Amino acid sequence: MHENLARLDFIKNKIKEIVDKKQLKTAPEIIAISKTFPLEKIIPLLDRGHIHFGENKIQEAELKWNGVANKYKEIKLHMVGKLQSNKAKKAVEVFDYIHSLDNEKLAVKLQESEKKVNKKIKYFIQVNVANEKQKSGILLSDLESFYSFCTKNLSLDIVGLMCFPPFNSNPEKYFEIIKISASKLNLKHISMGMSNDYEIALFGGSTFLRLGSAIFGSRKLPN
């Protein structure tokens, strides 16, 4: 068995154990964060039937996945990186989900791009859950009005919330905040939890886990 498949199976088994033990309603989807990894590392997962993959750069995603979708028709590509408004059209063309919707200008550009491309995609609002100046995201105090703007004014398909908890902190309380916030907006999905904290995120109600190194191993640092 390919080592990446073994890692994925290990994660799935661990998730199943937690879901069964805690009697959780459903297991989350696993987004295999394939950024920087070549297709040769990804093909074993595709052949297994894994569906969700995440990238953080449009150009890399386009070059890597162009043509692959013709063979693997069920795959769903997730944009998990920062998205500039001037790249909205290309993002709509390439991706099925965007996890980094974080300002009104971008929201407008995405709505315009959907009309031009004639394609509807699904969005997560990125929330700056700890009000960190160095991070993107909608502040909790602005979340309700931003959600209303996106859904009522622009008719964007907002399916959930996404967050990055503060580095070197216990993410549990931040995951709980996001869970409560999603519930208030009647949003079904929560994108939270990465390779180092996905078990905590699972307890916190995550429905989409973003796992990179836990599946593919360590990334090579740029020279």
**How far apart are the C-alpha atoms of 95 and 161, rounded to whole Å?**
17
Q: How confident is the model at residue 221 (pLDDT cuts 50, 70, 90)?
A: low
Kindly report, residue by residue over 11-24, the tens digit of the pLDDT. Answer: 999 999 988 887 88
Can you give the pLDDT at residue 200? Answer: 92
Can you give the pLDDT at residue 102? Answer: 96
Kindly report, residue by residue over 104-154, the tens digit of the pLDDT. Answer: 999 999 999 999 999 999 999 999 998 888 888 999 999 999 999 999 999
Can you give the pLDDT at residue 70? Answer: 81
Least confident interval from 45-49, 85-89, 140-144, 165-169: 165-169
Can you give the pLDDT at residue 94? Answer: 95
Q: In this structure, are residues 52 and 96 in contact, taking their beta carbons and an 8 Å threshold?
A: no
**Domain interval for residue 106:** 3-216
**How far apart are the C-alpha atoms of 210 and 223, rounded to whole Å?**
26
CATH of the domain at 139: 3.20.20.10
Q: Is residue 111 part of a domain?
A: yes
- Amino acid, single-letter form, for residue 3: E
Q: Is 36 exposed, middle or buried (0-12, 13-18, 19+ CB in 10 A)?
A: middle
Q: Is residue 212 part of a domain?
A: yes
From the list 202, 213, 209, 196, the residue with the least C-alpha distance to 4 is 213
**How far apart are the C-alpha atoms of 206 and 193, rounded to whole Å?**
7
Average model confidence (pLDDT) across the chain: 93
User: Is the per-residue pLDDT at 222 higher than 60?
Assistant: no
Q: Averaged over 13-36, what is the pLDDT?
A: 90
Q: In this structure, are residues 190 and 206 in contact, taking their beta carbons and an 8 Å threshold?
A: yes
Non-local CB neighbours of 30 within 8 Å, separated by 6+ positions: 8, 11, 12, 15, 50, 52, 208, 209, 211, 215
Q: Is residue 222 part of a domain?
A: no
**How far apart are the C-alpha atoms of 33 and 108, rounded to whole Å?**
27
Q: Is residue 53 part of a domain?
A: yes
Non-local CB neighbours of 81 within 8 Å, separated by 6+ positions: 35, 55, 56, 57, 100
User: Is the per-residue pLDDT at 217 higher than 80?
Assistant: yes
Q: Is 195 exposed, middle or buried (0-12, 13-18, 19+ CB in 10 A)?
A: middle
Least confident interval from 90-94, 130-134, 158-162, 190-194: 130-134
Q: Is residue 223 part of a domain?
A: no
User: Is the per-residue pLDDT at 59 higher than 70?
Assistant: yes
- For 216, the token pair is 């593919």
Q: Is residue 221 part of a domain?
A: no
Q: How confident is the model at residue 167 (pLDDT cuts 50, 70, 90)?
A: confident
Q: How many domains does the chain have?
A: 1
Between the alpha carbon of residue 41 and those of residues 27, 38, 187, 211, 217, the distances in Å are 25, 6, 34, 14, 10
Q: Averaged over 169-192, what is the pLDDT?
A: 95
**How far apart are the C-alpha atoms of 161 and 139, rounded to whole Å?**
12
Q: In this structure, are residues 174 and 137 in contact, taking their beta carbons and an 8 Å threshold?
A: no
Q: In this structure, are residues 144 and 136 in contact, taking their beta carbons and an 8 Å threshold?
A: no
